[in-house]
Chains A and B, each alone.
Chain A
C-alpha cells in the first residue's frame, strides 16, 4: 500500500512531464529531446528563487510557467519552423528535429553546467510528515501531487471544453484536415509547443520541492516522458495520465523491492512490453 501510494504521488509529477511532451510531439510534431533540460532548468530557477529571494515554489509556478511559455514559443518559431518548412515528409522532420533538439539539449546542459556546476542540489520545502491511511509521506510530495493534478485537470478542461483546445486536438489528429476547417495550423502548433514547454517547466518546479536534482539528469527524464507518451498513445491525455501512474508505481516497486539502481531497467521493461504488445498506446487504435 505504501509503495502504491508513493508510486502514485511520483506518477503525478510524471504525468505533467509527459503531458508537456505529448503536446510538443503530438501536436507540433517535434520530438523534443531537450524536454528534460526544460525540466532541469525549471528546477534550478525554482531553487534560485526560493533560496535567494524566499519565493514559495508554488508562487514560483506563476513566474516560471509564463517564462517557459515564451522561451519555448521563441524556440519553435526561430529554430523549429524552418525545419518544418524544409521537411518534405514526416520522416525528414523527425530526423531533423531530433538532431536539432539534441543540439539544444547539449547547449542547455553545457550552459547550466557553467552556471551551477555538476553537483547535486536540493532544498527544504514543507519537509514535514503528512499521513494518508496510516502511512506518512512528505508533505512536499503530497502538495506536488495535488498541484500536478490541478494543472492536469486545467489542461484537460482547456483541451476538451474550449474552441482553442479543440483546435489543438484537431491539429494533433490531422494538420491538413485542420487547415480545411480554418485552423491556423502554424500558430496552433507554435502555441502547443509553447504550452507543452510551460507544463514541463511547471513539472520541474514541483519536482524540485522533493527531489535531489543536478544538471545532467535531464536525459533520464526525457526518456521517462517519452516512454509514458508512447505507452499512453501520442497526443492522448487520458492515456498519458494512466501511463504516468503505471510508470511511477512500477518504478517505486522495483526501487523498494529490488534495487534503486534498477529504475531505468524498470522503465525499459515497461517500454519493451508496450512496443511488443501495444505500440499504438493503451487507448490507441491500430492504424488502418
Chain B
C-alpha cells in the first residue's frame, strides 16, 4: 500500500486543478497568446525533464537541442508512413537511445567531460543530418503536413508536462530517487553503500532525454518544413538551462517558476531587439551564478527557513523570560 504524505496529496490536488484550468485556455484565447502559451508549455515540459536529470546530479546537460532535434526528425522521416502516436514512440526510443550512448561514453567519468560532450552534440547531429541529406537524400529539409492546430499542440504539450511531473514524482519515491539523492549529497558515500552511480545516472539521463525528444516530436508539425539548423538549434539547450536554473531545481515545480517569465521576456526581446538576445542570455547566466545560485525557489525557501528559525528562537526567548 502506498502511503502518500498529506502535503503531497494537497500538491496533487492543486496540480490537478491547475491542469484543468490550463486545459481550457485554448478555448478562450487564440493567435498570439495561444502561440506564446504553446512556447511556455514547450519549455515547461523540456525544463522539467531537464531538471529530472540535471537537478539531483548537478551535471549541466547541454544536449536538450540534440534530443529535441532527434524527436523532430523522428516525425519528419516517418510522417508519411506511420500514424502520429507511433512517431511519438519512435521519438521516445530514439531519445532514450541517444542519451544512453552519450551517458555510457561520458557519465562514468568526471562531470566536465559530460558537459563538454553535450556542448557540441546538437551541432554534430545537425552536421551529420546535413551531410546524409546532401549526399544520399537529395534535398536538405523535409516536409511535415498534419491537421494539427496550435490548440492540439498545446494540449499535447500539456499532457507531456503532466507525464513528466508524474514521472518525476514517482522517481522521487522510488529506489532510483533515493540513490540519486545520495549521489547528489556525496558520491563517495553513494559508492560505499553500493549504489551503481554511473548506471543510475545513465538511466535517468535516458528518461530525461526521451521526454525532450517527445517535445521535439510534438513541435515538428508547427515547423512544417524541417531543416537541420532549425531542429538542432543549440539555442534551445542554453535557454533550457537558464530557465530551469533561474527557477531552481531543488523542487519538481521549480523550473516552472523560471519558464513562464523568461519565455515571455525572450519572446519580447527576440521580437523587438533580435540582436540583443545573446547579451541578455549572457547577463541571465551571470545573474544566476552571482545572484541566484539556487534559483528563485531555492532563494525563497532559504529566506523562509531563516525567518522561521528566527521566529522559533524569539519564541524560545520569550518563553524563557516568562518563566
Which positions in A face B, CB cutoff 8 Å?
31, 33, 82-83, 91-92, 94-96, 98-100, 102-111, 113-114, 219-220, 222-223, 226-227, 230, 259, 261-262, 264-265, 267-268, 271-272, 275-276, 279
Tell me, in angstroms, the Cα distance from A264 to B283 when the chains sit together.
28
Of the candidates A108, A110, A223, A230, the one having the most CB atoms from chain B within 10 angstroms of its own CB is: A110
Tell me, in angstroms, the Cα distance from A288 to B241 when the chains sit together.
34
Partner of B109, one of A107, A114, A219, A279: A279
| Residues on the A chain within 8 Å of B268, using CB | none
Tell me, in angstroms, the Cα distance from A271 to B115 when the chains sit together.
13
| Residues on the A chain within 8 Å of B117, using CB | 271, 275
Q: Which one of B148-156, B200-208, B252-260, B287-295 is at the A interface?
A: B287-295
| CB proximity to A under 8 Å, residues B259-294 | 275-290, 293
A227 nearest CB across to chain B (Å): 8
| Residues on the B chain within 8 Å of A222, using CB | 119
Partner of A103, one of B123, B275, B283: B283
Which positions in B face A, CB cutoff 8 Å?
58, 60, 105-106, 109, 111-113, 115-117, 119-120, 123-124, 127-128, 130-131, 134-135, 234, 238, 241, 245, 275-290, 293
Assuming A102-B238, A103-B286, A110-B278, what are 12 further A-B pairs, CB within 8 angstroms?
A: A91-B111, A100-B285, A102-B285, A103-B288, A106-B281, A106-B285, A109-B278, A113-B275, A113-B278, A223-B120, A265-B127, A275-B113
Closest residue on chain A to residue B134 by CB atoms? A261
Check A99/B285 contact, CB under 8 A, given A114-B275, A259-B135.
yes
Contact A261 B127, beta carbon cutoff 8 Å: yes
B19 nearest CB across to chain A (Å): 32
A15 nearest CB across to chain B (Å): 19
Closest residue on chain A to residue B119 by CB atoms? A223
- Pairs A–B under 8 Å by Cβ, sample size 11: A99-B245, A100-B285, A103-B283, A103-B286, A107-B278, A110-B277, A110-B282, A114-B275, A259-B131, A261-B130, A275-B106
Tell me, in angstroms, the Cα distance from A110 to B105 when the chains sit together.
33
Contact B111 A106, beta carbon cutoff 8 Å: no
Contact A109 B124, beta carbon cutoff 8 Å: no
Partner of B289, one of A94, A96, A110: A96
B3 nearest CB across to chain A (Å): 35
A-B contact count (CB 8 A): 116
Closest residue on chain A to residue B106 by CB atoms? A275
Contact A268 B285, beta carbon cutoff 8 Å: no
Contact B60 A95, beta carbon cutoff 8 Å: yes
B174 nearest CB across to chain A (Å): 25
Contact A276 B127, beta carbon cutoff 8 Å: no
Contact B282 A107, beta carbon cutoff 8 Å: yes
A contact face: mostly helix, strand, loop, or mixed: helix
Partner of A268, one of B124, B131, B281: B124
Of the candidates B112, B241, B276, the one having the most CB atoms from chain A within 10 angstroms of its own CB is: B112
Contact B282 A230, beta carbon cutoff 8 Å: no
Tell me, in angstroms, the Cα distance from A104 to B287 when the chains sit together.
11
A240 nearest CB across to chain B (Å): 15
Check A107/B283 contact, CB under 8 A, given A264-B124, A272-B105.
yes
Tell me, in angstroms, the Cα distance from A110 to B106 when the chains sit together.
31
Tell me, in angstroms, the Cα distance from A259 to B58 when the chains sit together.
37
| Residues on the A chain within 8 Å of B290, using CB | 82, 100
Contact A268 B282, beta carbon cutoff 8 Å: no
Tell me, in angstroms, the Cα distance from A193 to B280 when the chains sit together.
26
Tell me, in angstroms, the Cα distance from A223 to B279 when the chains sit together.
21
Contact A111 B279, beta carbon cutoff 8 Å: yes
Contact B105 A275, beta carbon cutoff 8 Å: yes
Closest residue on chain B to residue A276 by CB atoms? B105
Tell me, in angstroms, the Cα distance from A100 to B117 when the chains sit together.
18
| Residues on the A chain within 8 Å of B276, using CB | 110
| Residues on the A chain within 8 Å of B123, using CB | 219-220, 264
Contact B112 A107, beta carbon cutoff 8 Å: no
Tell me, in angstroms, the Cα distance from A220 to B122 when the chains sit together.
12
Contact B119 A219, beta carbon cutoff 8 Å: yes
A115 nearest CB across to chain B (Å): 11
| Residues on the B chain within 8 Å of A271, using CB | 117
| Residues on the A chain within 8 Å of B241, using CB | 99, 102
Partner of B127, one of A33, A104, A262, A275: A262
| Residues on the B chain within 8 Å of A33, using CB | 119
Tell me, in angstroms, the Cα distance from A271 to B238 when the chains sit together.
22
B237 nearest CB across to chain A (Å): 11
Contact B131 A104, beta carbon cutoff 8 Å: no
Closest residue on chain B to residue A109 by CB atoms? B278
| Residues on the A chain within 8 Å of B288, using CB | 99, 103
Tell me, in angstroms, the Cα distance from A107 to B116 when the chains sit together.
20
B125 nearest CB across to chain A (Å): 9
B83 nearest CB across to chain A (Å): 33
